[in-house]
């Protein structure tokens, strides 16, 4: 069974602090995805990581992929309130085109 596990599921952090969200997955996959979801809104694509060792950065967010360890991380640098949202990692479902299997999400709250 394909599993995608995120850690932590809930995260409250102060503005200006750094933190990392971890995503482990159980199947071989060369592609990992990060999505953001604001309350009541749909999913917004943040990053697609296509190969082992891939690193992508956008603003205060940086994603990196280790396919050997089956570990995907999302690092938050100097958090600001606007980053408050739920973050999902996802992997391709095998033999299903590019349909995605999502983790449960990490609900992030950044406080002053």
Partner 1 sequence: EAGVVQSPRYKIIEKKQPVAFWCNPISGHNTLYWYLQNLGQGPELLIRYENEEAVDDSQLPKDRFSAERLKGVDSTLKIQPAELGDSAVYLCASSPDRDSYEQYFGPGTRLTVT
Cα distances from 24 to residues 70, 75, 79, in angstroms, run 6, 15, 23
Candidates 27, 31, 71, 84: give the one binding partner 1 (CB under 8 A): 31
Candidates 42, 68, 69, 112: give the one binding partner 1 (CB under 8 A): 42
Give the residue among 1, 2, 13, 7 at the shortest CA–CA distance from 77. 13
DSSP classification of residue 9: S
64 binds partner 1 (CB under 8 A): no
> Length of the chain, please?
112
Q: Binding mask 66-95 vs partner 1 (x if CB under 8 A, - otherwise)?
A: ----------------------x-x-xx--
Interface ranges with partner 1 (CB under 8 A): 4, 31, 41-45, 48, 88, 90, 92-93, 96-105
């Amino acid at each position: 069974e394909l599993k995608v596990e995120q850690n932590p599921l809930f995260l409250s952090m102060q503005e200006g602090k750094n933190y990392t969200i971890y995503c482990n997955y159980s199947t071989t996959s060369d592609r990992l995805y990060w999505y953001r979801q604001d309350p009541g809104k749909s999913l917004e694509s943040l990053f697609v990581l296509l190969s082992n060792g891939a690193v992508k950065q956008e603003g205060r967010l940086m994603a990196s992929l280790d396919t050997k360890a089956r570990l995907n991380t999302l690092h938050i640098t100097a958090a600001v309130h606007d980053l408050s949202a739920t973050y999902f990692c996802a992997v391709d479902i095998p033999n299903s085109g590019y349909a995605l299997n999502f983790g449960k999400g990490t609900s992030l709250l950044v406080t002053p």
